[in-house]
Amino acid sequence: MNIVLDLKVVMDTNVFVSGVFFSGPAYQILKAWQSDQFELVVSQEILNEYQRVGEILAEEHPRIDLNPILNFVIEHAKVYQAAKLKEPVCEDPDDDKFIACALASGCRVIISGDKHLLKVSGYQGVDVLKPHVFVDRYLG
């Protein structure tokens, strides 16, 4: 595997929980982050959403304990205070937290399969990449 120095990445919630609960590209991405192949950046809002959505999925998949990975994120991800955007960027305003975090951290990559985020790829130099594209481009 390649180590990509100075690569900061924001991971949307669906990619994060998919990586925890299922195999595939999202799982590969989480494993690469845990192996220090890139830096995961989050905001408190993103952490809260990871936990909220993870708890919902944990009820459906009781054999999977989300707490160890959430604790790992809290200990090892870089937490940024994301400034409020001057105007909405995404059609779904709930997705703006990922853009705000990327801008606050100087991050240039968001990993997401969300159609609203994918539509704004390139906004202020931030690329929004589907998980398989990120794997091919950065981890392949």
Measured distance CA(87)–CA(93) in Å, rounded: 10
β partners of residue 128: 110
Q: Which domains does the chain have, with CATH numbers?
A: 8-139 (3.40.50.1010)
> Which residue is associated with the tokens 């001057």?
86
Tell me which amino acid residue 22 is.
F
Digit-coded pLDDT (tens) for 128-139: 999 999 999 999
Here the tokens at position 107 are 């991050």
pLDDT category at 55 given cuts 50, 70, 90 is confident
Here the tokens at position 34 are 């845990």
| Residue 118, helix vs strand vs coil | helix
Digit-coded pLDDT (tens) for 80-127: 999 889 999 999 999 999 999 999 999 999 999 999 999 999 999 999
Here the tokens at position 123 are 């906004």
pTM recorded for the entire structure: 0.91
> What are residue 112's phi and psi, to 5 degrees?
-160, 150
